[in-house]
Structure 1
């Protein structure tokens, strides 16, 4: 007994805190992965828009005025 409580009570408290910490780490890692995916998809979208803009400008230059 420690401070009038059985040792397994302290172990349960320790496991609860450990579980919370692991959940926090997992949430943080998942958020990082989501951010990387969002940035990658955003870059693809921006590249596609820039290519379309270039094509429109080159098409305008070819049209006779």
Structure 2
């Protein structure tokens, strides 16, 4: 019993599609983590600036 060639093509397409989905998912997670890290750094910088402002306002009065 022989298997038609189009079945091989369909199976190959499914495998390629699955591999591409995995690859894309990894890339998206990596970009998302980089974005989260960047936002965290911006937030920490803002907190540090606010802390410095509070210290400047407090220091001359003491």
TM-score, length-scaled by structure 2: 0.89
1-structure distance, mates of 2:15, 2:60: 68
Q: Which runs of 5+ in 2 are unaligned?
A: none
Cα-Cα RMSD:
1.2
2-structure distance, mates of 1:37, 1:57: 30
Equivalent residue number for residue 32 of structure 1: 30
Equivalent residue number for residue 14 of structure 2: 16
Higher RCO by CA contacts (8 Å cutoff, separation 6 or greater): 1
Deviation at 1:4, TM superposition (A): 2.0
The alignment of Structure 1 onto Structure 2 pairs a total of residues equal to 62
Equivalent residue number for residue 7 of structure 1: 5
Equivalent residue number for residue 42 of structure 1: 40
Moved over 3 A (4+): none
Q: Which runs of 5+ in 1 are unaligned?
A: none
TM-score, length-scaled by structure 1: 0.86
